[in-house]
Amino acid sequence: MPACYKSVTMTLTVRKLHPLFGAEIGGVDLTRPVAAGTFEEIRSAFEEHSVLLLRGQAIDDSQQIAFSQLFGPLETTVSANPAGGTAFARQSNLDINTGDMIPVDDRRMVYQRANFFWHTDSSFKRVPALCSLLSARICPPEGGDTEFATLRGAYATLPETMKQKIEPLIAEHSLAYSRGLVDPNVLTEAQKAEVPPVKQRLVRTNPVNGRKALYVSAHASHIVGWPFAEGRALLDELTAHATEPEFCFAHRWRNGDLIIWDNRAVLHRATPYDTVKYKRLMQRTTVAGDAPTVAQ
């Protein structure tokens, strides 16, 4: 535990956000230190509910990093992100240096449009992320919601024949593929080389509770060893199933909200807002996973 995070015991409350996943956690103040026992409760709720909402968290960057590190080591963002090379994946229409609003045709804004696709964070890395923590610093009065979909719930309702079919399959994931869906030129050749394509299992098992989940994402381009079109069709079919309304909910952000989600078991996507009229600043920290899902 970081030295700046000394223990303070808190009494937690849990309120479900959706019948299948998601919970709002109350009784936590992340501007103050969190006791080890309290964090154990939060981590247990994370494994059970996949998405946790903590409201009223007026945290700064250092407090967000300190709390995020309780889950594990943090990833460093890729250079293409507006805050590349730091612990933060900045989701914003504000220039990181001047605070001015970024023009809609700026490469930084084009890059962020891929967030409108259903995805899991960092599945394009050899060791995919455990979880993401997104802190709402400045929210627009309308638009800019985040939608979540449970990949556990979706997997559980698949026919047994489909479960058996996809169990051994491996997909290739690539940041260049997902960003290329928006603009094939949004990444430079150097940025593409920074994160080359990787292989990921199509079905993942939670090591704590044994629950299985689909592992699909906009970063997944094709099934390894299959004709591209056939594999693409299967990925599209599984993603469409996973994002049916019964498996989803949308979160309307307020300033001070913090959401933690399990990238092993949840898809998410951004929704549009008026980037010319309104300011928006969201700071995301991403906790690294502990191993590849398959040998590369």
> What is the per-residue pLDDT across 266-284, written as a single tens digit (0 to 9) for each?
999 999 999 999 999 999 9
How would residue 9 be classed by pLDDT, with cut points 50, 70 and 90?
low
Lowest mean pLDDT across 8-17, 23-32, 111-120 = 8-17
Q: How high is the pLDDT of residue 6?
A: 45
Q: Does residue 28 have a pLDDT over 60?
A: yes
Which tokens go with 155? 């997997």
Domain assignments of the chain as residue spans, ordered by start: 13-94+101-288
Q: How far is CA 34 from the centre of its chain?
A: 23
Q: Which of 90, 251, 280, 284 is catalytic?
A: 284
The superfamily CATH assigns to domain 13-94+101-288 is: Clavaminate synthase-like (3.60.130.10)
The per-residue pLDDT for range 212-259, each reduced to its tens digit, is 999 999 999 999 999 999 999 999 999 999 999 999 999 999 999 999
Report the SS3 class of residue 296.
coil
Q: Which of 49, 119, 251, 264 is catalytic?
A: 119
DSSP letter at 76 equals P
Q: Which of 137, 211, 264, 268 is catalytic?
A: 268
Lowest mean pLDDT across 64-78, 80-94, 167-181, 232-246 = 80-94
How would residue 85 be classed by pLDDT, with cut points 50, 70 and 90?
confident
Residue 90 annotated among the catalytic residues of the structure: no
Residue 251 annotated among the catalytic residues of the structure: no
Label residue 23 left, alpha or beta by phi (over 0 means left) and psi (-120 to 50 means alpha): beta
Residue 121 annotated among the catalytic residues of the structure: yes
Backbone angles phi, psi at 243, to 5 degrees: -110, 20
Q: What is the pTM of this model?
A: 0.94
Query: Do residues 148 and 267 touch, judged by C-beta distance below 8 A?
Result: yes
Q: Which of 49, 90, 121, 179 is catalytic?
A: 121
d(CA 285, CA 253): 17
Residue 268 annotated among the catalytic residues of the structure: yes
